[in-house]
A and B are shown apart, each in its own frame.
Chain A
Amino acid sequence: MKREPFDPVKEREVIGMYPSVDSVELAGMIGIPPFPRMYRPIERRENFKMLFRGERPYWIPVCGWFGADTNMFRPRQQADNYANHQAFDGGERIDYRKLGNVLVGWFDIELQWEEKVCGATAKPGVTKIPDINYWEDYVSMPDLDQMDWKAIENDNTEYLAGDRIIQLGIQLGFWERLMNLMGVAEAAVALVDEDQQDGVHRFFDQLADVYVDYIRRMKKIINVESVFFHDDWGTSTGPFFSLDTCREMIVPYMKRVTDCCHELGIIFEHHCCGKAEKLIPAMIEEGDDYWYPQPSLNNVDAMIETYKEQPITFAVASPVMTSDMSDDTIRKMAQAWFEKYKDKGILLTMNIDAIAENDPSKYPLFEDTIYELSRIAYQDAE
């Protein structure tokens, strides 16, 4: 079927608004305001899925936490979302400041909010699992029967309506969870200490069951189309652990999660901060569909080239755009970016690395230009 040709007026027409996200704390503010929905020739979700079916999409899909083709969904009924001040859902506004800076996540762990980095971490000095070999004596796996699934189903109808791809966010993957429960140093040692590895395997084995069960239950009531799974494997200079350690200790469990996702037709995004390019072979083996590498730390162009034959793709950030740049300059940058990536099968995302010069107000024009260029370039595709 022939594609609808690009119409610069019609496709910039606001045909509605995407709902606000009222209970997320980012950059010192609680809540993300509604943003305009433009006309698109096909649903954004369908365009997104085309990329992962190996087809030429109508435009380069855009991923991100807000303002993107993805609709991030992290219901407050999952305690980690609430404790991380990241309830991306349709519920009533949560005023986190009234709740104090320590909230309780899964495994009854106290998560302390730190405004400077806009995130929560295990309360310093509190170790939930002092010995991983006996973790069952200290913690229990979360009981998913206790979650209010009815509320998840009922409270989010409006929030999840619309044409964006519904992306279920899951905080604290295997390594992050272990760090939170044991402390960073002890968790790191446990990964390579032959006297502790059995305990780690036993813990991850059951944790994988929980994530799989969570995704399956969610899929029954919500049209989850993508999973955004947090597990930071990188530091600012390199991976936390070796590829061998990752393969031995983490990949088998991540693979169970991605296998479940793929069985359910869900696209899997591994969210991994830091410089982790050396671990891409593990990401491929475990079944990640895409990863957004932090541009200031990783060489995304080299990755695209190296892994072009592999079943993984990458989200590429917009370049750093400074406040003194004219609209014409931004358009030229977008043109250059598009020429470089138009045949690479990648996604676009907004550059959110903490680079002082980067002016986020320049991004909408950049994204709009990429949209137009890709719509025109791809409109004759079969």
Chain B
Amino acid sequence: MSQIAEVKTMVETGKSKKVGAAVQAALDAGIAAQTILDGMIESMGVVGEKFSTGEIFVPEMLIAAKAMSKGVEVLKPVMAGENSTSLGTCIMGTVAGDLHDIGKNLVVMMLESSGFDMVDLGVDVPADKFVEAVKENENVVLVACSGLLTTTMPALKEAVQTVKAAYPNLPVIVGGAPVTPEYAAEIGADGYAPDAGSSASKAKELINKA
């Protein structure tokens, strides 16, 4: 098995204790850090797809994200001098009145693993906070709003519309159990992801369109 393939397998299967050594071995063999990172991001894409199709579940996705993060730790010092490979900053939060964080946390991990710099505002986030966070952070390319309760769907609408009023060209993606693609479109969101697994590809699609 090639060194890159080994790193990818370790990410996909969540071998967080071994992935660091595999990444180091790949670096030692002269493989570029960016190539290794791209390989790991690709692995997380596979993980996301498997999650979306029900082949794997929350634990497997989380342990893969954990392994990815261990691999990135090894790459970070090597890549410090290189040009930024970040896809940009994504502001994410669960909307006002909603305390659910599991789905939101999964999306944060998946987007981070896909190359976004994540700013996690947490739960119960008022609409204005999303706008403030866009102002306060550099290179914001995406806002992601999560809502898990039917009762907080109006807050989701308010969050989307407040961000769009302040930043009409900034893409906003939404998700959460009661949210449908139709509702996302109705409230003015640019995109919708039905689960954490598909959030990364949708997020990339949105920023490429913007």
Contacts and interface: CB of A to CB of B under 8 A. Distances in A.
B59 A189 contact: yes
Given A116-B97, A189-B63, A242 B57 contact: yes
B21 interface: no
A356 B150 contact: yes
Given A184-B102, A192-B14, A193-B14, A245 B63 contact: no
A184 B194 CA distance: 20
A157 B63 CA distance: 50
Contact of A242 (B56, B101, B177): B56
A185 B149 contact: no
A191 B66 CA distance: 14
Given A117-B149, A185-B105, A356-B150, A235 B58 contact: yes
B57 A238 contact: yes
Interface residues of B, number: 24
A124 interface: yes
Contacts of A114: 99
A241 interface: yes
B54 interface: yes
Contacts of B58: 188, 235, 240-241
A354 B123 CA distance: 22
Contacts of B123: 124
Contacts, number: 54
Residue among A117, A189, A242 with the most chain B CB within 10 A? A189
Interface string A219-246: 0000000000000000111111110010
A239 B17 CA distance: 27
Interface in B35-68: 54, 56-60, 62-63, 66
Contacts of B14: 189, 192-193
A199 to B, nearest CB: 15
Interface residues of A, number: 23
Interface in B1-38: 14, 16-17
B50 to A, nearest CB: 11
Contact of B150 (A238, A239, A354): A354
A131 B7 CA distance: 26
Nearest to A196: B63
Nearest to B152: A116
Given A193-B16, A354-B150, 20 more contacts: A116-B97, A116-B99, A124-B123, A184-B105, A185-B62, A185-B105, A188-B62, A189-B62, A189-B63, A191-B59, A192-B14, A192-B59, A193-B63, A235-B58, A237-B194, A238-B54, A238-B57, A239-B57, A240-B58, A245-B57
Interface of A: 114, 116-117, 124, 184-185, 188-189, 191-193, 195, 235-242, 245, 354, 356
Interface of B: 14, 16-17, 54, 56-60, 62-63, 66, 97, 99, 101-102, 105, 123, 149-151, 177, 194-195
16 contacts: A116-B97, A116-B151, A124-B99, A124-B123, A184-B102, A184-B105, A185-B105, A189-B59, A192-B59, A192-B63, A193-B14, A237-B194, A238-B57, A240-B58, A242-B56, A245-B57
